[in-house]
Amino acid sequence: MTKATPKPRRSKAEQRAEKQELILNGAELLFAKRGLHGVTLKDVAKEVGVDTALIHYYFADKKALFDQVLERRAPVTSGRRIAAMDAYEASVGGKVTLEGALHAYLDTDLDSYIQGGEAWRNYGQIGALVAHTPEWGSEILSRLMDPVVTRLIELLRKAMPDTPDEDIFWGYQFVSGALMMTLARTGRIDKLSNGLCHSDDFEAVKARMATFMAGGFRAICDQRERERQSG
């Protein structure tokens, strides 16, 4: 009878990284449900099944833990979206369309929540909370996500070269608001539609959002152009 090959011992660095990941996953879940102020480090310790002292060992305080939760996934989605927008522009030889730019920006982000499962959706909920409560983590999200928005604005300018920047930025504001409402997963659409629509149905959102937003952009631009001509 052959002896089972013993598993290699994990290094202290690997054990430390595993424990930190466990804590971040538990904190992400709780912060998504209750926000920054609705969660204590004791809550996180109970969720994860560790002593509170271990969390204090890795994170200075609750805000540091919250910030690290934000820092963990933001660079991933940021990188994916910029790469998607770059690839889209290259694929059309610079002949950017409104729908194409919005699909590259929105669909890539929605794919993260479709393919990443509940953990990514929890992160999306936290992002929506931060968007409505800027003092929680606006510096982090601004630093990590502003390059994504700047890239989208560049594409929108190319798609609508005669559109004033004011209208482009307002259009982005409305796009962002709709996306944050989607990521919040409030369940309100489930109730209003009597179960016909579901807050978790990111595939349904992906099939509609870019087209809807493109129509809104065009309506704003057409209205503003008529106002300028009549004025």
Contact 140, 133 (CB under 8 A): no
**What are the tokens at 83?**
């790469």
Contact 195, 134 (CB under 8 A): no
CA distance 53 to 166: 50
Hey, how many other C-beta atoms are within 10 angstroms of the C-beta on 47?
A: 16
Tens digit of each residue's pLDDT (9 = 90 or more) over 112-148: 999 999 999 999 999 898 888 877 767 887 888 899 9
Contact 148, 82 (CB under 8 A): yes
Hey, how many other C-beta atoms are within 10 angstroms of the C-beta on 191?
A: 11
pLDDT tens track, the chain, 231 positions:
555 666 666 677 778 888 999 999 999 999 999 999 999 999 999 999 999 999 999 999 999 999 999 999 989 999 999 999 999 999 999 899 999 999 999 999 999 999 999 999 999 999 898 888 877 767 887 888 899 999 999 999 999 998 999 999 999 999 999 999 999 999 999 999 999 999 999 999 999 999 999 999 999 888 887 887 886
Helix axes 117-132, 12-34, angle to 10 degrees: 60
CA distance 201 to 60: 37
Output the pLDDT for position 6. Answer: 60
CA distance 103 to 63: 34
Output the pLDDT for position 222. Answer: 83
Hey, how many other C-beta atoms are within 10 angstroms of the C-beta on 180?
A: 17
Hey, how many other C-beta atoms are within 10 angstroms of the C-beta on 114?
A: 17
Tens digit of each residue's pLDDT (9 = 90 or more) over 165-185: 999 999 999 999 999 999 999
Half-sphere exposure of 26 (CA within 13 A, CB side): 21
pTM of this structure: 0.86
Name the percent of the chain in helix, strand, coil, to the closest 5: 80, 0, 20
Ordered structural domains, the chain, with CATH: 73-230 (1.10.357.10)
